Structure 1
Amino acid sequence: MAKVHPNATAAVQDAKTPEISIGRKEDGGAALLTVWRKSLLFGCSGFTVFDSKGNLAFRVDVYGSAVCALVLMDRCGNPVLTLRRKKLSLGETWLIFNGEDAVDPVFSVKRQVSLRHGRALAHVTPCHSGGGGGYEVEGSYARRSCRIYDERRRAVAEVRRKEAAGGVAFGGDVFRLVVESDFDTCLAMAVVMALDQMFG
């Protein structure tokens, strides 16, 4: 059986290292992350994310079945971002907060609601005027084939299927997240978490 990542055991043992390794190339190229839709804790669902060297980068542990909030943690268990489902909104919307904050959201991820079948899955919008332009997610999260585009239509992150050595494909629970150097890796992972709640 193929391993999700060959260095997974070492990553868990090395989780006390303070900084997050996001696996960027030395020339500042894209970060290549392996996302596993499974918590490392027994009896929980969630995500375990490895960098390109097999080190633990992020984790999400979900207790129970009714999800109204998700916390993206670094490899030491420190909260990086929190996602909360927005109440009383037209369409499904998730708000992204810094750390464990629940007062001042920095981004919102809204599921595209349209009678026409367009390419857009969701829109990512900054909640403050100084937050820059928004992003659009297109493709199919269910097939693990989607991209995040910035306002100039540049692909800044991509979800794609992962193949093991020898060309054997993993199931939908293991996939790649490729994040370009000018896009925040934490935000990319938060968008994936929101997409998983909307389309998982």
Structure 2
Amino acid sequence: MAKVHPQLVSSCTSSKQEVFTLWMKSLIMSTNGCAVFDSNGCIVFRVDNYSHRCTTQICIMDATGKVLLTIVKKKFSLFKTWEGYRSTKSTDGRRKKPVFQVRKLMGIRAFLGYLRGYSICKALIRVEEDKVCEYRMEIKSCKQSCRIVDAFGGLVAEVKRKITTSGVVLGEDVLTMVVEPHIDHSLVMGLVLVM
């Protein structure tokens, strides 16, 4: 088993495929959250919820506790909708545009996904101020795995139960997250938390 070292990791993207371990437990007792470790055992991201379990806002932090991304569940929308923000306020005091917006897919595509054993969400990612790209999130009904694919069907990231090198399947709260090159890790982590 890899040792855990509380060192800082500076970049949120990489030129090669990255493998992370998600432990869906908080590092702080009596709170809800998760911790994300890189392949060297260093803490990369953490989420700690100090209030109640069903909150409408969570923050993804780096190892030092600096907030990287804030995810907000929209209360009064017709469909389940989540938005992710890099920062909650702009310099002029107005709310910034979300970096991403995730909505559960409805209609024939959702029904076909359901028949294949998947729940499907659509994620709109703001690449630039006026440029948006679309990702599709496919979540297996048993919630043992999920995939994030781009508009052309190319794999962006995949999350599944962690299996050790000796073939032992770890508990339901220990997952492996594989992120493809040149993809923002904090953004993928935000999408995974929405799932």
Would you call these one fold, judging by a TM-score over 0.5? yes
Gaps of at least 5 residues in structure 1 are 196-200
Residue 95 of structure 2 aligns with an amino acid whose one-letter code is: V
Cα distance 1:131–1:184, how it changes in 2: closer, same or farther (>3 A)? farther
Which residue does 1:108 correspond to in 2? Answer: 101
Cα distance 1:99–1:31, how it changes in 2: closer, same or farther (>3 A)? farther
Which residue does 2:67 correspond to in 1? Answer: 79
- Measured after TM superposition, the shift of residue 117 of structure 1 is 4.3
Residue 160 of structure 1 aligns with an amino acid whose one-letter code is: K
Distance 1:179 1:116 in 2: 27
CA contact (8 A) 1:22 1:52 kept: no
CA contact (8 A) 1:96 1:108 kept: yes
Show the 5 A alignment for 1:128-143: 130-140=130-140, 142-143=142-143
Distance 2:131 2:147 in 1: 20
Superposed CA offset, 1:92-142 (max 9, x none): 111100034492212101122347242452110135763331100114174
Which residue does 2:122 correspond to in 1? Answer: 123
- Measured after TM superposition, the shift of residue 6 of structure 1 is 2.4
More relative contact order in 1 or in 2 (CA 8 Å, sep 6+)? 2
Distance 2:78 2:13 in 1: 38
CA contact (8 A) 1:34 1:176 kept: yes
Show the 5 A alignment for 1:34-49: 34-49=21-36
DSSP-derived class of the 2:130 partner:
helix
Q: Moved runs in structure 1, 4+ residues, more than 4 A?
A: 21-24
* TM-score, scaled to structure 1: 0.81
Distance 2:132 2:35 in 1: 29
Question: Pairwise CA RMSD of aligned residues?
Answer: 2.3
- Residue from 1, 6, 18 that aligns with 2:2: 6
Distance 1:179 1:72 in 2: 17
Number of residues of Structure 1 aligned to a counterpart in Structure 2: 182
Q: Is 1:20–2:5 an aligned residue pair?
A: no
* TM-score, scaled to structure 2: 0.83
| Sequence identity percentage | 32
Cα distance 1:129–1:99, how it changes in 2: closer, same or farther (>3 A)? closer
CA contact (8 A) 1:20 1:74 kept: no
CA contact (8 A) 2:88 2:95 kept: no
